[in-house]
Homo-oligomer: A and B are copies of this chain.
Amino acid sequence: MALVRVQNFAVSLDGFGTGEGQSADAHFGHAGDRLHEWMFTTRWWQPGGSGGVDDAFVRQHDVGIGAEIMGAGKFGHPGWHEDPDWRGAWGPNPPFHTPVFVLTHHRREPIEMAGGTTFHFLDASPAEAVDVAREAAGGKDIRVGGGATTIREFLSAGLVDHLHVVVVPILLGRGVRLWDGLEGVERDFQVESTSSPSGVTHVTFTRTTA
Contact = CB atoms under 8 A, between A and B. Distances in A.
Interface SS, A side: loop
Interface string A183-210: 1111000011111000111010000000
Contact of A193 (B181, B183, B185, B195): B195
Given A193-B200, A195-B193, A14 B182 contact: yes
Interface stretch (A58-66, A101-109, A130-138, A172-180): A172-180
Interface string A1-25: 0000000000001110000000000
Contacts of A172: 183
A124 interface: no
How many chain copies does the complex carry?
2
A200 B203 CA distance: 10
B171 A183 contact: yes
Contacts of A201: 167, 193, 195, 201
A178 to B, nearest CB: 8
Contacts of A14: 15, 179-180, 182
A15 B179 contact: yes
Given A14-B15, A15-B15, 8 more contacts: A13-B179, A13-B203, A14-B179, A169-B193, A173-B184, A174-B183, A192-B199, A195-B201
Interface of A: 13-15, 167, 169-174, 179-186, 191-195, 199-201, 203
16 contacts: A13-B203, A14-B180, A14-B182, A15-B15, A167-B201, A169-B186, A169-B193, A173-B180, A173-B181, A174-B183, A191-B199, A192-B199, A193-B195, A193-B200, A195-B201, A201-B201
